[in-house]
Amino acid sequence: MTQSHDQADNKLWGGRFTQPIDSFVESFSASIQYDSRLYVHDIAASKVHCRMLGRQNIIPQAEAEQIIAGLDQVKGELDRGELPFQTRLEDIHMHVENRLKELIGPVAGKLHTARSRNDQVATDIRLYLREEVDAIREQIRVLKKNLLALAEAHVETIMPGFTHMQSAQPVTFGHHLMAYFEMLNRDRQRFTDLRSRLNRLPLGSAALAGTTFPVDRHWVAGELGFEGVCENSLDAVSDRDFAVEILAAAALTMTHLSRFSEELILWSSPAYAFIKLPDAFCTGSSIMPQKKNPDVPELVRGKTGRVYGALFTLMTLMKGLPLAYNRDMQEDKEPVFDAVDTLRSCLRVFADMVPGIEPQQKRMREAAGAGYATATDLADYLVRRNIPFREAHAIVGRIVRMAEVQGVDLDQLTLEQMQQVDSRIEADVAGVLTVEASVNARVAVGGAAFDTVRAAIAKAKDQLAAYG
């Protein structure tokens, strides 16, 4: 046997080869630098697979028990950081099997009976992402809970609502926060919905065509907590739809966090001065001592692009791949891991920051009354007097122009001045021109009235307690 053949044989797949792999290619093709985080899931799936091999008399039971004990030892070493990662061993599967062989000898090679690295890695990443999805759902629940608490404390804190970044109609801070609660509610539902599609077992599909051994895939699925098995072996090893779904849900969640971040950044600026962010989530300037920069919302807004990029990377990766497994698919892990890590860190920092947000109620109230925000209420007042809305709209437009010329708000015009525009306006108009009256007139479900928002918060609390 030549030296080059000896070197090639050092690979677990090396029997076919007569030359060693190029040293740069070895480094270029290794994935251990990022798939090492899968070791817990790889060993858990391997243990169940081995138990199944013993139960089905595919390997002797005594050997199955020996392999499982060895896997426990490998896991302990990895837990304690005692097993160094080596590029020559390529991936986490090779590291585990190589160390197992060192510990228990050639019998370790029987662990790979009736499976391939193709169905092995597909199983590992599903186990890993199932755990991450559950953690994300819990983090969203915590953020929702903290948003609810802040909203409940500020049901009557009036602020301007905007369209086109222009003051439109008065709302309340509590009502505004509940809009983000609804977004997060949908986000959590998406992660809940996709979990069932994620939670299917690929193991037993082997490389692409299934296995000739009498495996019990349904037993393995039950032991690993899967809801069922992947029904087609080709699809099982080449499917990454579940990862795309997770990144799509993550991207949309980050969109919502980014929109919230943008508003927090605006609201905390001196030009708005609607809120104060807690000091622990801001930084100062190296040159301007007066500055308090909203770094956390800015970073969340920026990190949203990373998650979008991960989604686009994975979809681009998958779009042209023929069945079944291709080495391109090794590139799925880095964007998936990065997106999941990014989302979880952003959810955590938001959940920690939200309780410390301090609305500046006086400033918000003043801003809510500016910009003729109760003009629509005046139009509605006229409609209730049997004036067609389009006519009412025109009448109020003329009244707003009068107020602009005089430099006053609508509620500062006298009755006589408004009657110069339309004599059908009566003294009771004063009751609709305050911001409080405007807000509390919105009593329909989903509206901004104090009692309506309280009812929405009560309903949300019940849902949070029941479903998260």
Q: What are the pLDDT digits (tens) for 274-302?
A: 999 999 999 887 778 777 899 999 999 99
> Contact, 314 vs 340, CB < 8 A?
no
**Mapping DSSP to helix (H, G, I), strand (E, B) and coil, where does residue 449 land?**
coil
* Number of CB atoms found within 10 A of residue 142's CB: 16
Query: What gap in Å lies between CA 88 and CA 91, rounded to an integer?
Result: 9
Active site (catalytic) residues: 164, 285
Q: What angle do CA 61, 66, 69 make, to 5 degrees?
A: 125
pLDDT at 305 over 60: yes
> Contact, 179 vs 457, CB < 8 A?
no
DSSP string, 420-436: HH-TT--GGGGGGSSHH
Query: What gap in Å lies between CA 35 and CA 94, rounded to an integer?
Result: 11
- Give the pLDDT confidence of 3-37 residue by residue, as tens digits: 444 445 455 655 666 677 777 887 787 888 889 99
> Contact, 160 vs 368, CB < 8 A?
yes
Query: What gap in Å lies between CA 385 and CA 392, rounded to an integer?
Result: 10
**Mapping DSSP to helix (H, G, I), strand (E, B) and coil, where does residue 305 land?**
helix
Multiple choice CATH, 370-467, 1.10.1470.10, 1.10.40.30, 3.40.30.10, 1.10.8.100: 1.10.40.30
Assigned CATH topology for domain 31-113 = Fumarase C; Chain B, domain 1 (1.10.275)
> Contact, 142 vs 349, CB < 8 A?
no
Q: What angle do CA 431, 433, 435 make, to 5 degrees?
A: 105
Q: Say if residue 233 is exposed, middle or buried (CB neighbours under 10 Å; 0-12, 13-18, 19+).
A: buried
pLDDT at 422 over 90: yes
Contacts of residue 443, defined as CB under 8 A and 6 or more positions apart, other chains included, come to 449, 451, 452
Average pLDDT, the chain: 93
* Number of CB atoms found within 10 A of residue 434's CB: 17
What the block records as the tokens of 184 is 């997060």
Contacts of residue 21, defined as CB under 8 A and 6 or more positions apart, other chains included, come to 8, 11, 29
Q: 118-366, superfamily in CATH?
A: Fumarase/aspartase (Central domain) (1.20.200.10)
- Give the pLDDT confidence of 308-361 residue by residue, as tens digits: 999 999 999 999 999 999 999 999 999 999 999 999 999 999 999 999 999 999
Supply the pLDDT for residue 295.
Answer: 95
Domain boundaries, the chain: 31-113, 118-366, 370-467
Query: What gap in Å lies between CA 337 and CA 310, rounded to an integer?
Result: 9
Element housing 382 (H / E): helix 375-383
- Give the pLDDT confidence of 88-140 residue by residue, as tens digits: 898 999 999 999 999 999 999 999 999 999 999 999 999 999 999 999 999 99
Supply the pLDDT for residue 4.
Answer: 43
Supply the pLDDT for residue 21.
Answer: 74
Give the amino acid at 231.
E
Supply the pLDDT for residue 149.
Answer: 98
Answer positive or negative: Cα dihedral of 242, 244, 250, 255. negative
